[in-house]
Structure 1
Amino acid sequence: MEISIFTVDAFTEQPFHGNPAAVCLLEDKLEENQHQKIANEMNLSETAFIRKLNPTDDFTKKNVNSTLTFITLSGELIARQAEDHIILDLPLYFTHPQDVKEVEELVKAAVGDKSVQDVRYSPDTKKLLIRLSDAYERADLEKLKVNAENLLLAEKTGRIKGVIITLKGDGRGKQESYDFYSRYFAPWYGVSEDPVTGAAHTVLSSYWSQQLGKKKMCAFQCSARGGRLKISLRQDGRVDLGGQSSIVLKGFLSI
């Protein structure tokens, strides 16, 4: 059997940037263990499998109002196309002030001696949000050397499974102004640093919306690959995360 397969870089319009994922187009169902084998073979953070619900469905037909529902370990993920962007429909998660003394060692492992302006915790996602002082610039966040092993050793609460480091935007993006920057680390799940993280922005969106008094924002995740996200908080308590994408590989997988 041959399966059409693509590698897509998400949250970017440039090849080799953003978050890489494999996408498989299936004409028929696969055995459950084959999904995992294909994902292991692709060796990327995400592998998506898209299957026709009806024999007459056309994978190649373009529809600006089309939506896809992905079944993930975290529940259903709905994506839709809007002009040249793909919009993810995600829940919005709020943060609460964190006693810095409880996570002092973890904060130091993440940002060293840098000045910290705020520390928050999201119980729904088990993510710790560390906001650097507004005195810093994007380059300071990009230069941070974060050791994943040190994060694991420094986490003593047993509650935290991801660390977000964020910084207020300086309005001096190369192509556009950004409201905030971030980086994300989740060694508890085997991810030393994630290139671009939709899940982290479900937390970042609520935090920065409160801080900036804005419902629409533009963000940049400052990993080595980098990725740009357009954010829109909705009336129903959810958030739309938008980004462009670039297909960098097309081919067939033989199984």
Structure 2
Amino acid sequence: MQLEFHQVDAFSERPFSGNPAMVYRLDSWLSDELMQNIAAEHNLAETAFLVREGLGWHIRWFTPSTEVPLCGHATLAAAHVLFEVYSDSAERIDFIGKAGALSVTREGDRLVLDFPAMVPTSAAVTIELERALGVDIVDVYGSVELMVVLESEQAVRDCEPDMAALIRLPWPGVIVTARGETHDFVSRYFAPAIGVPEDPVTGSTHCSLIPYWSSRLGKLSLSAYQCSTRGGELFCRLEGDRVKIGGHARLVASGKLLLG
């Protein structure tokens, strides 16, 4: 059996930046074990699998070690593959995943994710968290992930967490964020507990970041930058109980996986 795959650098206009994701468009589902093994073989932050369902696509996302309920950059990558490789002429592609209905729309040269807003609530600063991050903490909030507000963009860039200590925290991952110098806000995301020590650019964390920074800055449209080594720019809007997360994507590789 041969399976066609496509690798996309999401939230970037050029190769070797943004967040790489692998995309498989399937005729029918593979076993969970096989999909997990394929994701581990590629060893990227996410591998997305798609199966046509009605007028849209059922989508699932796997890290090298586990399936996750929501992933932004791999959804952006999946839409890019459907648009550019498989010549989908629609202006919008609908997906259904574990987090419910999602979509990606073309807006000029950008693709825009439509995801649920996940408003974070205040959480306690713990000694374990402070030791794990090794930085001065301004505020802490929780939603699906733990979101830690730092004093400056430089503090976010300089953060060097203890990965073993992060794994022991009761959260799948930790976001660090601050007001940006040239963007409205910046962030980084660490998730060693799910096999991703640092994710280069994370769409799903912006489901919480956008409502928080929109409220704090008093604006609905925001520019964001995830300042990992690869880095990526996101164009954000808060629209009621939804967030719009825009970015670019670049196809960098295509090939076939040989099984059996």
Q: What's 1:110 paired with?
A: 133
List aligned pairs for 1:226-245, cutoff 5 A: 226-235=231-240, 237-245=241-249
> Residue 7 of structure 1: CA displacement?
0.6
Structure showing greater radius of gyration is: 1
Rounded to whole Å, the distance in 2 between the matches of 1:34 and 1:98 is 38
Rounded to whole Å, the distance in 1 between the matches of 2:34 and 2:9 is 23
Q: What's 2:178 paired with?
A: 167
Rounded to whole Å, the distance in 1 between the matches of 2:176 and 2:210 is 13
For the aligned residue pairs, the C-alpha RMSD in angstroms reads 2.4
Q: What's 1:212 paired with?
A: 217
Task: Show CA shifts across 1:116-175 (max 9, x none).
Answer: 3222222xx1x2221112xx3x3432222112112234x3xx4x332111110122xxxx
Deviates more, 1:40-49 or 1:59-68: 59-68
SS at match of 2:13: coil
SS at match of 1:90: strand
- CA distance 1:97–1:37, change in 2 (3 Å): closer
User: Is the contact between residue 29 and residue 51 of structure 2 (CA under 8 Å) also seen in structure 1?
Assistant: no
Q: What's 1:252 paired with?
A: 256
Rounded to whole Å, the distance in 1 between the matches of 2:22 and 2:256 is 12
- CA distance 1:81–1:195, change in 2 (3 Å): same
Structure 2 residue 47 is matched with structure 1 residue 42: no
SS at match of 1:199: coil
Q: What's 1:67 paired with?
A: 93
Among candidates 132, 139, 161, match of residue 150 of structure 2: 132
SS at match of 1:198: coil
Rounded to whole Å, the distance in 2 between the matches of 1:53 and 1:118 is 42
Partner amino acid, structure 1, of 2:203:
G
Rounded to whole Å, the distance in 1 between the matches of 2:7 and 2:148 is 32
Partner amino acid, structure 2, of 1:240:
K
Task: Show CA shifts across 1:31-77 (max 9, x none).
Answer: 325433332322222222334569xx996325351314153x44444
Q: What's 1:78 paired with?
A: 103
Rounded to whole Å, the distance in 2 between the matches of 1:206 and 1:253 is 40
Among candidates 147, 157, 164, match of residue 142 of structure 1: 157
Rounded to whole Å, the distance in 2 between the matches of 1:8 and 1:144 is 27
Which ranges of structure 2 fall in alignment gaps of 5 or more residues?
55-81
User: Is the contact between residue 92 and residue 103 of structure 2 (CA under 8 Å) also seen in structure 1?
Assistant: no
Q: What's 1:93 paired with?
A: 118
Among candidates 196, 204, 208, match of residue 199 of structure 1: 204
User: Is the contact between residue 107 and residue 130 of structure 1 (CA under 8 Å) also seen in structure 2?
Assistant: no
Task: Show CA shifts across 1:2-39 (max 9, x none).
Answer: 3332110111112111111111233x325325433332
Rounded to whole Å, the distance in 1 between the matches of 2:105 and 2:30 is 27
Rounded to whole Å, the distance in 1 between the matches of 2:89 and 2:118 is 31
Q: What's 1:184 paired with?
A: 189
User: Is the contact between residue 64 and residue 83 of structure 1 (CA under 8 Å) also seen in structure 2?
Assistant: no
> Residue 245 of structure 1: CA displacement?
0.7
- CA distance 1:4–1:245, change in 2 (3 Å): same
SS at match of 2:230: coil
User: Is the contact between residue 5 and residue 23 of structure 1 (CA under 8 Å) also seen in structure 2?
Assistant: yes
Q: What's 1:12 paired with?
A: 12
Partner amino acid, structure 2, of 1:21:
A
